[in-house]
Amino acid sequence: MSLWADKYRPSTLSRLDFHREQAAQLRSLVQCGDFPHLLVYGPSGAGKKTRIMCLLRELYGAGVEKLRIEHQSITAPSKKKIEISTIASNYHLEVNPSDAGNNDRVVIQELLKTVAQSQQLETSTQRDFKVVLLTEVDKLTKDAQHALRRTMEKYMATCRLILCCNSISKIIGPIQSRCLTVRVPAPSIEDICHVLSSVCKKEGLTLPQELAQRLAEKSGRNLRKALLMCESCRVQQYPFSADQEVPEMDWEIYLRETANAIVSQQTPQRLLEVRGRLYELLTHCIPPEIIMKGLLTELLNNCDGQLKGEVAQMAAFYEHRLQLGSKAIYHLEAFVAKFMAIYKKFMEDGLDDMMF
Amino acid sequence: MDIRKFFGVVPPGKRQECEAVKKSEKVKNGEGESSGKKRGKETKVKSSPSEDVPKQKQAYKKKRIIYDSDSEEEAQSVKKAKQQTEKKVATPKPGKVLKQHPVVYVSETDEDDDFVNKRISLKPKENGTSAISSPGAATTKKGDVKPQAKTKPLSPVKLTPTSALDYFGTRSVQRSEKKLVASKRKEPSQSRDSTLDDEAIARQLQLEEDSELERQLHEDEEFARTLAMLDETPQKKKARRDSEEHAVLNVKSSPNVTERCKQSQRAKATNSAGEVKEQTRSENSKEPTLHPQSSDGKMARALTEKTLPLKPTSKLVALKQKEETTKKERGAQSLQSKEKNVMGKEEKRTPKKEKISPKKAESISPEDSEKRRNNYQAYRSFLNREGPKALGSKEIPQGAENCLEGLTFVITGVLESIERDEAKSLIERYGGKVTGSVSKKTNYLVMGRDCGQSKCEKASTLGTKIIDEDGLFDLVRTMPGKKSKYELAAETEAKKAETSHKKTPQKTESGKRNCSPLKREADRKKSNFTPEKGGTFKSVKKEAAAVRKLTDFKHQTVQKKEAPRPKGAVVSEGSENRTETLLWVDKYKPTSLKSIIGQQGEQSCANKLLRWLRSWHKHASEDGQAKPSKSGGKDDGTSFKAALLSGPPGVGKTTTASLVCKELGYSYVELNASDTRSKSSLKEVVAESLNNTSIKDFCSGTSSSVSGKHVLIMDEVDGMAGNEDRGGIQGAMMSIAFKEGLKIPPPAMNEIILAANQDIRQVLHNLNMWCAKDKSLTYDEAKADASRARKDIKLGPFDVVRKVFAAGEEASRMSLIDKSDLFFHDYSLAPLFVQENYVHVKPAAAGGDLKKHLMLLSRAADSICDGDLVDKQIRSKQNWNLLPTQAIYSSVLPGELMRGYMSQFPVFPTWLGKFSSTGKHERIVQELAMHMSLRTHACKRTVNMEYLSPLRDALVQPLKDMGADGARDAIAFMDSYCLMKEDIENIMEISMWGGKPSPFSKLDPKVKAAFTRAYNRDVHLTPYSLHSVKTLRRQSGSMGSSEPSEELNVEEIPSDEDEQDTVESDAMIKLL
C-alpha cells in the first residue's frame, strides 16, 4: 500500500505514458550499449527520475532496481567528517551532493573517484562502466561543479554521469557542454488527464473528465502532484463529483492567505504580520522563489492592468536579488513593502481621480 | 621602598616600635583612643596648659627620639609630615610640661592611636637632631627635651596671633610652617617681654577663633572635607620644600642669631628665590587684590618693605627674612592682631563664603546623580511622546555669562520650539542646573505640553515658580551675569593662598591650624592627620632648639652631618620639578582615606573596608591584637577572609585599598596584572613578604612583632563603585583645574566628566592634555573636546538600533562616521537588528502620512536588501573591506530614512531563531526524503512540498476513521514507505502551519496508544541504517559492494513490488 504516484510509476521506457518519442530516442541511445554523460532537466513532476530509472533498467536489466541505502562518511581535507547517504544498486550510485551543503565539492571529489576508479571485473556480462546519478545538480556550488568537470573526462572509461536538475541555468557551461542534455518537459494537461484516468481505472475508480482536467490544471502540470491530489480527492470524497473541491497543499493555502493579507491592507503593522507569515513559510523550507512566485500570482489577480506590469517587473527584480543575496526574508519583505507602497499610492491616486 | 613614604602616611612599623619601647606596658586601645581624643580637643582649644596634655606631649617627644634611631628613609616622610603640622598648640605645652616632669612614660601607652600619627612627626629630628643624639635613645631624649623646653614658653604667643589667620585661609596654607618655626626660634632667644603682650592678644584672638571653630564644626560637611583634603595634598609638597629651606635657615642662623640674619637671609633669598618663584607662581599670579584679606597681605608686605631693603626677590623671600628678624616679626604680629580685630567683620565674611561654596557643590552631587537617572527615564518616555511641534520657531536668546548660576530648573513636558535636550544644555550653558524632579531647591519649573502631573503639583505645593519656555528665554535674556560659584570658590581659595604667603608666618600657620582641628572634630575617628601635623611641628621645633643649643664647633659638625640636607633640598626640589612632570592623576592622588572622593560616609565602601580590615585579625585568629573595631554593624563582612573591591575603572579601588592598609599600618604587597599570578608565584611572594621584616623594623629591634600585618592587594583581578557623585567630582576637578591654572567653566567641566563616564582618572588625563594646549576652555570647546574624548563605550545592539533610528538632536549631532560606527559595534548583529526593527519606527519624515510612510519603509527595505547583497559578497568572497559599504546600506541608510520615534523597545531579531528552525526542518525533511527515497525517488524539496500533506493524511486518516483498527493500515503504509515512528512525529511537526495543532495530536490518546503498541509489536525493516544502533548491525555481506568498509551500512530492500521473489533472497537485516 503506497501512494498512487509511487504505486503506478512505470519502470520501463516502453511503459512511459508521455513523451514517447523521447523515450524511444533514449532507448535507441542505450541500445548500442554505451551513452554519453547525460544532463536531464525539467520541471518538477515531469518524470525525469522515472525516465532515468527506466533508462538504467534498459541498460542493466532488473538488477538496478535492487536498491540499497548507504551511509558514507567522507573526511574533508579540513578533517571534517561529512556524512552522506547514497542510494546504490550494483550498477549505479545515486547521490545528492547538495545534501552536504558547502562541502559538496568534497563529496564529488571523493565519492566519484572511489566509484570511478574501481573497474568492473566481469566485463563480459556487464557493462564496463557504472553510472553515477547526481541529483539536484543545480544546487551544487560552483566549486563542486568545477570539481566535476575534470572528473567527467578523466573517468569516462569506467563511469557515466547522469545529472538531474530542474534548471540548467545554474550549471556552468563546461558541464553543459560535456553532457548530452535531455529536457523532460512537463506533461501537458491532456497527458496528465490521461494518466489520471488510467490510474483511476487501475484502482477501480471512475474519474470524471472535468475533475481530471481541474486536477491537471491545479497541479501546474506536475504529474506527481496531480496524482497526489487525486488520491486526496479520493480520500475526501468518493464517488468523485466533477465540481468537487480539490484539496491543496498546506503551504499553498498559507501562501495565498499571505497574499490576501497584503492586498487587503497596507500598513506597517500589516507588513509586520506578513513578515511573520513569510518566516513561517521559510521555516517550512518552502523555497523563497516559490514564495515569490506564489505571492506574485496571487497579487496580480488583484492588480489593474497597468499596475500588473510594474508589479511583475518588481517581482522579477527582487527575485533576482534574492538569488544574489543570502537572507531571503529581506528580499521578500522588500518586495512586499514595495508592493504595499505602490499599491497604496495607486489606490489613493485612483480614488483622487474619481473624486475630482 | 615603601609607598607610604611618599604619601607621608604613618609607617605601620613605627607604631609597633613605640610599643616595643614601652615594652612592659600593655597597650590598651580603648584608653588610647579616648585620651587621644581628649588631647585633640585640648590642643585645638589651646586652653591654658594643663598637666595632662603636657604629659602626653612628652610622651610624643620620647617616641620621637626613639624614632630618631630609625633609618633615614623616613626622613622624607617626616618632612612631609612637618609641613602638615597644623598644631602648634601642642608644642608649647609639652615644652612647659617637660620642665616640670621631665619624663612621663605612662601616658604614652594610652595614646597608641596618636602615636601612629606622631611617629612620623618624630622623624624630623632624625635629620637635624638625631645627628647629635647618639644611639642611646634615653640619653638623647633628655637632651633634646631640654632645649625645647626653653623655647616653649614663648611659642604660645605665636600661636595665638596666628589663629586669627585661620579665618582667612583655611585651605591654602603652604608656607606657614617654616615661618612659625623661625619665629619661635628667634623669639625665645631675643625678646621675652614681647611675649607677654602677645599672649594677651593671643588669648583674645583665641576666644574668637574657638567660637569660629565651633561654628564651622557644625557646618562642616563631608564634602568640604574632601575638598580641603584635595587642596592640601599638593600643598604638602611645597610645604615640605619650605620646611627644608627652614632647616637650612636654621643651620645657618642658629649659631649667631640676629647679626648674621640678614646676610644669610639674603643669601638664601637669592638662592631660594628661584625656587620660591616657581612654587608660588601659580598662587602669586592671583595675588593681587579684591579679597578682603589682602589688606593683611599688604600690611605684611609693607612691613617687609620697611624692614628689608630686599627688592628683586619674591615677596615670599621677603617674608622669610621677616620671620627671622624677630623685631620685625613682633611688629608684624602686633600689627596683624590689630588688623584682625579691626577687620573682624571682613574676616568673618570670607570664611562664610568659603563655606558656602562647598555646600553648594555638595548639594549638587546627590541631585545630579538623581538627575541622570531621571533624565534617562524621562528620555524613554520622551521618545514615545511626539516631538516638539514648532522646533526652531523661536530664537534662542543669548544671555550673560553664568546668568542662571545657582538656579535649579526642572523641565517637564514637551517644549514647543526647542528640544528638551537643547533646553537643558541652554540652561547648563548659563550655569543653571536641570534636575529631574521638583524639590525644595528647585527655582523654576519649565512647563511644556503634556507635562508631568506630579511635577506640577509638587511645584505648586513647594511654591516653585512655574514658567513656560518663553519665560525661560526671558530669564536667559534678562538675568545678569554672575561669577560661577566654582570660580568664586577657587578665587577665594587662591587669594587665601596668596595672602597667606604674604602674611607673616603665623597667619598662614593659623590658617592651617584652623583647618585641621575642624576636620578632626568632625570626624574624630580618623584624626591621624592632625596629630601628625602637631607632631611634626614639634619635631621641627625641637630640631631648631637643638641646633641653637649647639656650640659653634658643634654647629659645624651639625652642618656636616646635615650636608645631606641641602642635598635633600635639592632632591625635594627635583621632586618638585618632578611633580610638574607627574601625571595629574598621580599628582593629585589621594593621600589619605579622607581625601577619596565620595567615600567619606560612615557607611562608604572605604570605611567598610577599613573596619573590616581592622577587625580581621580578631576574627581570623581569636588571640588577635586587634584594635577595637568601632563598627557595631553586622554587615561589615567580618566573617570573610578576603575582600573584593569591584567597580568601573578609575573610581579608585586600588587607591582605597592601599590607603586603608596604610591607615591601619599594614604593610601590603600589591600584585597587579603585570605580575604573574600563578599559584606558585603567589605563594612565593606571600611567603617572602611574611618572612620579611622591613629594615627599619629591624633597626628598632621590633621586627618580631611586625609579622602578622601584611595585606596582599591583588589588583586588576578583573574587572568600589563610587556613588556616581558627579557633584563631588566636579568640585574636586574644579579645584585641581584651578590649581593648575586651567580655566574651565563648571558646565564645561560637567561635560568633560560626563564624557569620561565619571572616570576621575580619565577626566584628569583629559584635563591634563587640554591644558597643555591652552589654559582656558569655554563651554562649547569643552563640549566639543569632551565629545571627542568621549570614551568609546561599547553599545549593546539594542542601544545601537535605538541610536540608528534616533531622531532629533541626538541624530543631528552624529556625523556620517558616527552613524556608520554604530554598525560596527557588532557588524554581524547590527543589520539583523536594523532589519527587525525598522518597521517599528515611525519615521519623522513621513509626518504621519501613510503613503509616505510606506514609501520610506519600502526604500529602507531596499537598502537593507542592498546590504544583504554586500553581506553575501563579504562572506562568500571574504571581501571584508566592503564592510563600510554594508554599514551604509544596512544601517545608515535605513536609519536615515526611517529616523523617528520607535514605539517600543527594540526587538531581538527573529531571524536568528527562524534560521535555526529552518535548519531543523531541513534536516528533518532530508532524513525523511532519504528514508522514503527508495519509494519516491524524490528530492527533499519535492518531499517537503508535495508529499508531506498526503503522507500525513494517509497516516492519520485510517486512525481517525477506524480508531485503533486503523493502526494496521497506518503501519502498513509506514512500512511501505520505510518510515519509522520518529518519522511520523517529524512529519506531524513539520506539517504544522501557523501554530495550528496537527491532526495527529487531535487523535484520541487511546488510538495513539494502540497505534504505538501495534507498531512496536512488529519488527520493521528499514533499508537504511539507524545511527543509534549502528554498531550492532553487521552486514551479511550478500552484496559485495565497492566499499567494504562501508558494509555495515549496506542493506537492501526490494525496490518494487514487481520483484517480489527477490525480496526473500535479499539480505535483510532485522533492526531492533
What ipTM goes with this model?
Answer: 0.92
Between residues 842 and 901 of chain B, which touch chain A (CB distance below 8 Å)?
850-851, 853-855, 857-858, 860-862, 864-865, 867-869, 871-872, 875-876
**pLDDT, greater one: A218 or B197:** A218
Are B818 and B927 part of one and the same domain? Answer: no
Q: Which domain CATH number covers B447?
A: 3.40.50.10190
pLDDT > 50? residue A272 = yes
- Is residue B673 in some structural domain? yes
**Which domain, by its residues, includes B694?**
588-618+632-721
Q: In Å, how far are A16, A184, B382 from A21, measured between CA atoms?
A: 10, 11, 75
Cβ contact A330–B864 (<8 Å):
yes
The per-residue pLDDT for B515 is 40
Name residue, grid cell 596634655: B53
Rounded to a whole number, what is the distance in Å from the CA of A138 to chain B's nearest CA? 12
Q: Are B90 and B43 in contact (CB under 8 A)?
A: yes
Tell whether B1064 is within 8 A of chain A (Cβ).
no
Chain B, window 168-227: residues with a beta carbon less than 8 angstroms from a chain A beta carbon? none
CA distance readout (Å), B41 to B93, B212, B217, B531, B769: 14, 15, 12, 11, 45
For CA atoms A28, A31, A33, A37, give the dihedral sign.
positive
CATH number at residue B665: 3.40.50.300
3-class DSSP string for chain A:
CCCHHHHCCCCCHHHCCCCHHHHHHHHHHHHCCCCCCEEEECCCCCCHHHHHHHHHHHHHCHHHHEEEEEEEEEECCCCCEEEEEEEECCCEEEECHHHHHHHHHHHHHHHHHHHHHCCCCCCCCCCCCEEEEEECHHHCCHHHHHHHHHHHHHCCCCEEEEEEECCHHHCCHHHHHHCEEEECCCCCHHHHHHHHHHHHHHHCCCCCHHHHHHHHHHCCCCHHHHHHHHHHHHHHCCCCCCCCCCCCCHHHHHHHHHHHHHHHCCCHHHHHHHHHHHHHHHHCCCCHHHHHHHHHHHHHHCCCHHHHHHHHHHHHHHHHHHHHCCCHHHHHHHHHHHHHHHHHHHHHHHHHHHHC
CA distance B283 to B272: 17
What is the pLDDT, as a whole number, of residue A236?
82
Q: Note the pLDDT of residue B505.
A: 45
At B183, which amino acid appears? S
Nearest CA in chain B to A65: B1055
pLDDT value, residue B784: 66
Both B858 and B951 in one domain: the answer is no
Q: How many angstroms away from the CA of A285 is the closest CA of chain B? A: 6
Please judge whether B977 and A284 are an interchain contact, meaning their C-beta atoms are less than 8 angstroms apart: no
Q: What is the predicted pLDDT for the residue at B181?
A: 42
B864, B760: one domain = no
Can you give the pLDDT at residue A110? 84
Establish if B93 belongs to a structural domain. no
Q: What is the mean pLDDT of each run of 10 residues along chain B (1072 residues)?
A: 47 44 43 43 43 46 44 44 44 43 43 43 42 40 43 43 46 44 43 51 59 50 52 46 45 44 46 45 43 45 44 46 48 47 44 42 51 62 57 68 75 74 77 76 77 75 78 77 60 61 45 41 40 41 42 41 40 45 70 70 72 70 42 53 68 75 72 54 63 52 48 54 47 70 70 68 74 66 63 73 82 83 88 91 85 91 94 91 92 90 87 92 89 84 86 86 84 87 86 81 86 86 62 37 38 39 40 38
Minimum-distance CB partner of B1042 among A44, A115, A338: A115
Mutate: best of B832, B838, B903, B1055, partner A, most A CBs <10 A:
B1055
Residues 6+ positions from B1026 with CB-CB distance below 8 Å: B980, B1071, B1072
The CA distance from B217 to B45, in Å, is 13
**A69 vs B933: CB contact, 8 Å cut-off?**
yes
Neighbour-count burial for B816-837, b at 16+ CB within 10 Å, e otherwise? eeebbbbbebbbebbbbbbbbb
Contact A249/B972, CB-based, under 8 Å? no
Cβ separation of B946 and A266 shorter than 8 Å? no
In this structure, is residue B207 part of a structural domain?
Answer: no
Whether residue B781 lies within 8 A of chain A, CB to CB, comes out as no
Of B1016, B1037, B1053, the last residue of a domain is B1016
Whole-prediction pTM value? 0.51
Last residue of a domain, one of B908, B927, B948: B908
Query: For residue A261, is pLDDT > 70?
Result: yes
Distance CA B106, CA B293 (A): 45
Task: For residues B882 and B831, state if they share a domain.
Answer: yes
CA nearest to A94, candidates A111, A74, A75, A118: A111
Query: Does one domain contain both B706 and B743?
Result: no
Report CB contact under 8 Å: B969, A1.
Answer: yes
The alpha-carbon gap from B1021 to the nearest alpha carbon of chain A, in Å, equals: 12
Nearest to B176 by CA among B586, B588, B499: B499
Interface test with B, best of A119, A277, A330 (most B CBs within 10 A): A330
User: Residue B338 has what pLDDT?
Assistant: 46
What does the pLDDT read at residue B675?
A: 53
C-alpha cell at B66: 626613639
The domain at A250-355 falls in which architecture?
Answer: Up-down Bundle (1.20)
Cβ pair B918:A285 closer than 8 A: yes
Q: Please count the other Cβ atoms lying within 10 Å of the Cβ belonging to residue B35.
A: 21
B714 touches chain A (CB under 8 A): no
List pLDDT tens digits, range B14-64. 444 444 444 444 444 444 444 444 444 444 444 444 444 444 444 444 444
Whether B735 and B700 map to the same domain: the answer is no
User: Cβ contacts of residue A112 below 8 Å, gap of 6+?
Assistant: A132, A148, A151, A155, A159
Chain B (499-528) residues lying within 8 Å, Cβ to Cβ, of chain A: none
pLDDT score recorded for residue B704: 42
Averaged confidence pLDDT in chain A: 88
Residue B581 lies in a domain: no
Q: Which residue of A has its CA nearest to B852?
A: A341
Contact flag A344-B850 (C-beta cutoff 8 Å): yes
Residue B711 C-alpha, separation from nearest chain A C-alpha, in angstroms: 52
Report the CATH number that the domain containing residue B897 is assigned in CATH.
1.20.272.10
**Selected residue of A69, A94, A246 to mutate for chain B interface (largest B Cβ count, 10 A):** A69
Subunit contact B857:A65, Cβ cutoff 8 A: no
Size of interface A-B (CB pairs under 8 A): 219
* CA-to-CA dists, residue B111 to B18, B37, B53, B92, B101, angstroms: 10, 9, 11, 19, 18
Task: Give the residue from chain B lying closest to A143, CA to CA.
Answer: B876
Residues B768 and B845 in one domain: no
Integer-rounded Cα Rg, in Å, for chain A is 24
Could you tell me which chain A residue has the CA closest to the CA of B861? A334
Identify whether B183 is part of a domain.
no
**B716 and B663 assigned to the same domain:** yes
Q: Is residue B160 part of a domain?
A: no
The SS3 assignment for B907 reads coil
CA distance A36 to chain B (A): 23
Say if residue B710 is in the same domain as residue B597: yes
Interface list for B 966-1025 with A (CB within 8 A): 969, 972-973, 976-977, 990-991, 993-994, 1023-1025
Measured distance CA(B143)–CA(B132) in Å, rounded? 10
Nearest Cα to Cα of residue B1022 among B1060, B1050, B1059: B1050
Are B739 and B831 in a shared domain? no
Domain identity same for B765 and B646? no
3-class state of residue B146 by DSSP:
helix
| Domain end position, chosen among B704, B721, B738 | B721
Q: CA quadruple B931, B936, B941, B945: dihedral positive or negative?
A: negative
User: How many domains are contained in chain B?
Assistant: 5
For every residue of B229-269, DSSP letters joined together read HHHHHHHHHHHHHHHHHHHHHHHHHTTS-HHHHHHHHHHHH
Q: What pLDDT sits at residue B684?
A: 67
* A contacts of B1059 (beta carbons < 8 Å): 62, 65-66
Q: Would you call B1025 and A71 a contact, using CB atoms and an 8 Å cutoff?
A: yes
**Does domain A4-183 fall into CATH 3.30.70.3270?**
no
Q: Span A38-47, mean pLDDT?
A: 92
Q: What confidence score (pLDDT) does residue B370 get?
A: 62
Q: Could you tell me how far CA B187 lies from the centroid of its own chain?
A: 47
Tell me the CA distances in angstroms from B553 to B150, B213, B557, B643, one per residue in order.
21, 46, 7, 57
Q: Flag whether pLDDT at A114 surpasses 70.
A: yes
B976 neighbourhood in chain A, CB within 8 Å: 1-2
Peptide bond into B312 cis (omega under 30): no
Q: Domain spans of chain A?
A: 4-183, 189-236, 250-355
Among A2, A44, A324, select the one facing B869 at the smallest CB separation: A324
Same domain, B710 and B829: no
- A289: cell is 522563489
Which residues in chain B are contacts of A87 at CB distance < 8 A? 933-934
